[in-house]
Amino acid sequence: MSFKRSFGVLMHPTSVPGPYGIGDLGGNTYKFIDFLHNCGAKLWQIMPLGPTGYGDSPYACFSAIAGNPLLISPDELLKDGLISKDDLKNIPSFPAERVDFGPVINYKYSLYKKAYANFKKLAPDGEIISDYNKFVSCPDSKLWLDNFALFMALKEKHGGAVWCDWPKALAIREKSALEKARKDLADEYEFHKFLQYLFIKQWLKVKEYANKFGISVVGDIPIFVAYDSADVWSNPEIFHLDSNGKSTVVAGVPPDYFSEDGQLWGNPLYRWDELERRGFDWWFFRVREVLRMVDIIRIDHFRGFEGCWEVAAGSKTAVKGRWVKTKGREMFETLKRLMGELPIIAEDLGVITPEVEKLRDDFNFPGMKVLQFAFSADTNNAYLPHNFNHNCVVYSGTHDNETTRGWFDGLPASIKKSVLEYADCDARQVHSAFIKLAVSSTAVFAVVPLQDILGLDNRARMNIPGRASGNWGYRYGARDLKASLSAGLKKLCRIYGRL
């Protein structure tokens, strides 16, 4: 697909300020979109919107399709009459600068239970009930919603246990066991459908507001899904599992920039032969549903569509693995035939071979350039802006990187000197200089994390790969989005043709 030269900001909705302990889809998200518009930005990049599990990672969700209920706005529930002002009187004293996920989950779900109780009392011919019934009865919703809602209800019933540790009849999805569970857990089952209705209603309203200003939402599809997910539980035949439902091989990456032991992600790997036999129906449905929620997709770990790093289940690190060929080309050909040109960005970082580059280029997917990777070699480094081609997306850093300020502060003196010479700036302005390098480059998209716009150090870092907890919590301040910042960014966008 041919994209238009644009500027964008990377900011996940959990990072929005507000009183409820975590960013949500209420008024401050609309204010952020106003800030984007004032910057001249035409892109808002987010991470996966799914319901997060252990570790709170948006890259390890209970579903590849469902939304994260923690993003539901209490203020929007109040507007809809599903909760009262009294329900919002005793908000806990949450930290403003970080998400403390445990207390947030407890608080927000107590609100959702109140909203659900009030929802059940509404007149059956009312607008909300009618809207909800349309949502749950929609054929596309039924393809994922029933399985997801039952998965979550069963997970709660079994104390959060991984699905393979449930009673075997439920783990292997015996029809009679599932029917009994739906009956026994009817209220819990409907509660999770209700949460998905609220999330999608609120999110699509936010997306519509962004689109009104010509801002496209760049979403994220991780190539792999979490083992403990409705996806694997309800589609075991497309994953490498043994007769007990346990993974036989898992995903990761070999040693790289981020980790000398590689990264052992632990996700189950696909049976690409089975996916191909089914006409890649699961992937078609996944991409189609995500494109209902966003305008452009960034595919995380794109190289896995040419070959993936396969590690034996139970391994302690990802060092001992092997590259295994996959069926990405056949899949993208199928999707293109069914859907037309695909609005996809390929995350092509890490160990990239000529075969991966050819797969990316044959489908005209722009790859990624990260400025923080540009200063470890000579002037031929592919991440230096003077070496870019047009069809790429440049980032100062990603959610996995240090902030630009934090990264620069930790560099050896010799590399600092190279950075300052190339960016033509002093040490205090490295973050601003990197934004200018990105915006002025030939890359079709220039995207920067909000933390770099604000000039923050590593205390504002979003994620440290390989760290099991303490990630994903960054929140910006209510007064951070200053008019002077948006005016400066808009000037850059005007000068370098990104308006």
Active site residues: 300, 347, 400
Cβ contact 435:451 at 8 Å: no
Region of 229 (left: φ > 0; alpha: ψ -120 to 50; beta: rest) is beta
Which amino acid does the sequence have at 452?
D
Q: Which residue has the tokens 């996966």?
A: 48
Q: Count CB neighbours of 319 within 10 A.
A: 15
Separation of alpha carbons 446 and 4, rounded Å: 11
Handedness of CA 305, 311, 314, 317 (dihedral sign): negative
Cβ contact 219:46 at 8 Å: yes
What 3-state class would DSSP assign to 92?
coil
The single-letter DSSP state of residue 384 is: S
- Residue 249: strand pairing partners: 312
Region of 155 (left: φ > 0; alpha: ψ -120 to 50; beta: rest) is alpha
* Residue 213 burial (C-beta neighbours within 10 Å; 0-12, 13-18, 19+): middle
What 3-state class would DSSP assign to 218?
strand
Separation of alpha carbons 61 and 430, rounded Å: 35
Across the chain, how many H-helices and E-strands are there?
19, 12
- Residue 393: strand pairing partners: 368, 445
Region of 497 (left: φ > 0; alpha: ψ -120 to 50; beta: rest) is left
Per DSSP, the residues of 154-166 read: HHHHTTT--GGGS
Closest CA to 169 of 184, 186, 191: 184
